[in-house]
């Protein structure tokens, strides 16, 4: 698994039409907090149990990607969930997995706010909100 900054990840998505950007946050996070344009939402876990289902996740990713060698970029809130999900995909045989460092909202600052230190939104990259 590779680890790329949000800017590097967006550049890869722009330069490689084969790449697939997957937002692994819960559907409600993706809808109401915002997401990168073109991102497909495949949650690593969902409310109310917050329990990952790795086999189901891998199946959904394969259905969306169509093959295991397609470039996949995983983004979550802060870059932590995507580490676990990415490792699971690699273990399942996916060969080109990227973790988007710092995720969509980034790390917490001293006031416990996100999007102030790093992350997709902090970098000023395109995003949409439903």
* CATH number of the domain where residue 85 is located: 3.40.250.10
pLDDT of residue 39: 98
Q: Tell me: the pLDDT tens digits for 90-124?
A: 999 999 999 999 999 999 999 999 999 999 999 99
In a domain, 105, yes or no: no
Q: Tell me: the pLDDT tens digits for 50-99?
A: 999 999 999 999 999 999 999 999 999 999 999 999 999 999 999 999 99
pLDDT of residue 118: 97
In a domain, 121, yes or no: no
In a domain, 116, yes or no: no
In a domain, 93, yes or no: yes
pLDDT of residue 130: 81
Specify which residues 129 forms β-bridges with.
none
| pTM recorded for the entire structure | 0.96
In a domain, 59, yes or no: yes
Euclidean distance between the first and the last CA atom of the chain, given in angstroms as a whole number: 30
State the burial class of residue 101 (Cβ atoms within 10 Å of its Cβ: 0-12, 13-18, 19+): buried
Pairing of strands 97-100, 72-75: parallel
In a domain, 113, yes or no: no
Residues 6+ apart with CB under 8 A from 87: 1
In a domain, 56, yes or no: yes
In a domain, 111, yes or no: no
Please tell me the distance from the alpha carbon of residue 94 to that of residue 86, in angstroms, as a whole number.
Answer: 9
In this structure, how many other beta carbons lie within 10 angstroms of the beta carbon of residue 103?
Answer: 26
Q: Tell me: the pLDDT tens digits for 12-60?
A: 999 999 999 999 999 999 999 999 999 999 999 999 999 999 999 999 9
User: What is the number of domains present in the chain?
Assistant: 1
Q: What domain range is 48 assigned to? A: 2-100
């Amino acid at each position: 698994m590779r680890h790329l900054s949000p800017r590097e990840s967006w550049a890869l998505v722009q330069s490689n039409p084969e790449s697939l950007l997957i937002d692994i946050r819960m559907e409600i996070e993706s809808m109401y907090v915002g997401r990168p344009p073109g991102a497909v939402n495949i949650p690593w876990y969902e409310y109310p149990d917050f329990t990952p289902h790795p086999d189901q996740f891998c199946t959904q990713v394969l259905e969306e990607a169509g093959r295991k060698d397609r470039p996949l970029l995983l983004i979550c809130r802060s870059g932590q969930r995507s580490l676990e999900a990415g490792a699971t995909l690699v273990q399942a045989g996916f060969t080109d997995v990227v973790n988007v460092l710092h995720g969509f909202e980034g790390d917490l600052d001293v006031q416990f706010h996100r999007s102030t230190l790093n992350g997709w939104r902090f970098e000023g990259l395109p995003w949409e909100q439903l």
